[in-house]
Amino acid sequence: MDKIRVNLKRMIDDSYDIIIGKGIIKTISEALAKENIAYSYAVITDSNVEGLYGKNLYEKLRSTFDKVDLISFPAGEQSKNREIKSYIEDHMLTSGFARDSAIIAIGGGVVGDIAGYVAATYTRGIPYIQVPTSLVACVDSSIGGKTAIDTKHGKNLIGSFHQPKAVFIDIETLKTLNTKQINEGLAEVIKYGVIEDKNFFEYLEDNIHKVYEFQDETVFHIVKTSCKIKSEVVEKDEKESNLRKILNFGHTVGHAIEQLSDYKISHGEAISRGMVFEGKIALQITGWNKDNQKRLIQLFEKAGLPTDLPVYMNTNKIIEVMKLDKKAREGKIEMSLPKNIGEMFTTNKSYGISVSDELIKSALGQ
């Protein structure tokens, strides 16, 4: 017998900048020309964002780079699947995109997640740039390198960690979102206050209404603070071995609601409900008190977000789906639960809390 060791210890620097500003979408092409990231770019977008911002960005890039393609797919969560991933890949392969190319994902979280996942595997991995245009994408999905697609077995079950080379957030693009889409992003924003920053939660209690008036200063502060909290968590625990789990507050119940509604309920409207119900579970085990729970519900109401379970959803079904969630361990449901506003609960230093079926049933009221 003989043994050959393949030494693969490596130092990786995947650091990147998140650039936030007003009207910065116009500067992306120039900024990329200076960076030397790639020679050719595939701009990936969806059918709504294509006409709003995708085409303009594509035209700008074409005047700077020799080879640029615009690839668009039907908007919506239903497109975050294997078929659309193959469609994008086949388009790029037919077009001759090689390893010296990069992807630009311009759109909401669906575009970012699927385009990022294509980038993670295309010719074994190419760089990508996030240009988030929905509030969910600006404050959450464009940062942190989680890329994925959905299958009939559940959301985000196939994917990869692949960090973007840069994130460009133009808060001007948020002006074309409708109120419902803004509210969906605010669900993640409120989550950051609960999991990490009491002052931010209080700021939201006092100022959240200004988002609807598009007060630049408020929108900028909310986006920047959210990005800062998310990036600090990701810096400390990129692969979600512990701390990053706090970002999943509301998402164990939330993902089950999304799936059981056949994705007719949006992510934001599922996780506001998820946070309320995980809050109810927290009331019984973490020291999270009734006043905190009341403030959480009131803030969601201010942000036009639902806080009740859909009437047609039964607790046993939700439990069943949660057991298949990738956060479940050995068939036990795991959640991240708040202890106080701005502080998450740990047991044995772990932020992943195992929760029994009985506790879930009593919290969910069945």
Ligand X SMILES: NC(=O)c1ccc[n+]([C@@H]2O[C@H](COP(=O)([O-])OP(=O)(O)OC[C@H]3O[C@@H](n4cnc5c(N)ncnc54)[C@H](O)[C@@H]3O)[C@@H](O)[C@H]2O)c1
For 266-313, strand residue ranges (E) read none
Which of residues 91 and 162 has its CB atom nearest to ligand X in the complex? 162
Q: How far is the CB of 247 from ligand X (least distance, A)?
A: 8
Which x/- pattern over 53-92 shows residues binding ligand X (rule: CB under 6 A)?
----------------------xxx--x------------
Mark whether 267 is an active-site residue.
yes
- Catalytic residue from among 60, 155, 162, 230: 230
Mark whether 91 is an active-site residue.
no
* 190 contacts: CB under 8 Å, gap ≥ 6: 201, 204, 272, 275, 296, 299, 300, 303
Checking DSSP bridges between strand 333-335 and strand 353-355, what pairing results, if any? Answer: antiparallel
Which x/- pattern over 93-132 shows residues binding ligand X (rule: CB under 6 A)?
--------------xxxxx-x-------------------
Bridge partners of residue 46, in order along the sequence: 73
Which of residues 133 and 259 has its CB atom nearest to ligand X in the complex? 133
Q: Which amino acid is at 261?
A: S
Which of residues 108 and 338 has its CB atom nearest to ligand X in the complex? 108
- Catalytic residue from among 50, 77, 172, 188: 188
For the record, the structure tokens of 301 come out as: 């109401």
Mark whether 301 is an active-site residue.
no
Q: How far is the CB of 135 from ligand X (least distance, A)?
A: 7
Q: How far is the CB of 301 from ligand X (least distance, A)?
A: 20
CA distances (Å), origin 252, targets 102, 112, 277, 324, 332: 33, 21, 10, 10, 12
Q: How far is the CB of 248 from ligand X (least distance, A)?
A: 10
167: alpha, beta or left? (left if phi > 0; alpha if psi -120 to 50):
beta
For the record, the structure tokens of 138 come out as: 């600006």
Mark whether 67 is an active-site residue.
no
Burial class of residue 285 (count of CB atoms within 10 Å of its CB; 0-12, 13-18, 19+): middle
- Residue choice 29, 130, 141, 252 for contact with ligand X (CB under 6 A): 141
Which of residues 156 and 218 has its CB atom nearest to ligand X in the complex? 156
* 106 contacts: CB under 8 Å, gap ≥ 6: 43, 44, 45, 49, 53, 54, 57, 131, 133
Tokens 């130092």, residue?
11
Q: How far apart are CA 41 and CA 104, in angstroms?
A: 7
Mark whether 146 is an active-site residue.
yes
Q: How far is the CB of 200 from ligand X (least distance, A)?
A: 18
Of 278-337, binders to ligand X (CB under 6 A) are: none
Of 142-201, binders to ligand X (CB under 6 A) are: 144, 146, 155-156, 173, 176-177, 181, 184
Which of residues 52 and 158 has its CB atom nearest to ligand X in the complex? 52
Q: How far apart are CA 135 and CA 147, in angstroms?
A: 17
- Catalytic residue from among 240, 258, 269, 334: 240
Position 267 contacts ligand X (CB under 6 A): yes
- Residue choice 29, 101, 134, 252 for contact with ligand X (CB under 6 A): 134
Query: 313 with 334: CB under 8 angstroms?
Result: no
Mark whether 244 is an active-site residue.
yes
Mark whether 255 is an active-site residue.
yes
Q: How far apart are CA 309 and CA 253, in angstroms?
A: 10
Checking DSSP bridges between strand 67-73 and strand 353-355, what pairing results, if any? Answer: unpaired
- Catalytic residue from among 5, 10, 124, 175: 124
On the CB side of 29, CA atoms within 13 Å amount to 17
Mark whether 330 is an active-site residue.
no
What is the size of the binding site for ligand X (CB under 6 A)? 30
Tokens 């210890």, residue?
9
Mark whether 82 is an active-site residue.
no
Checking DSSP bridges between strand 146-151 and strand 154-161, what pairing results, if any? Answer: antiparallel
Which of residues 20 and 75 has its CB atom nearest to ligand X in the complex? 75
Q: Which residues bind ligand X (CB under 6 A)?
A: 46, 48-49, 52, 75-77, 80, 107-111, 113, 133-134, 136-137, 140-141, 144, 146, 155-156, 173, 176-177, 181, 184, 267
Q: Which residues are catalytic?
A: 124, 146, 188, 230, 240, 244, 248, 251, 255, 267
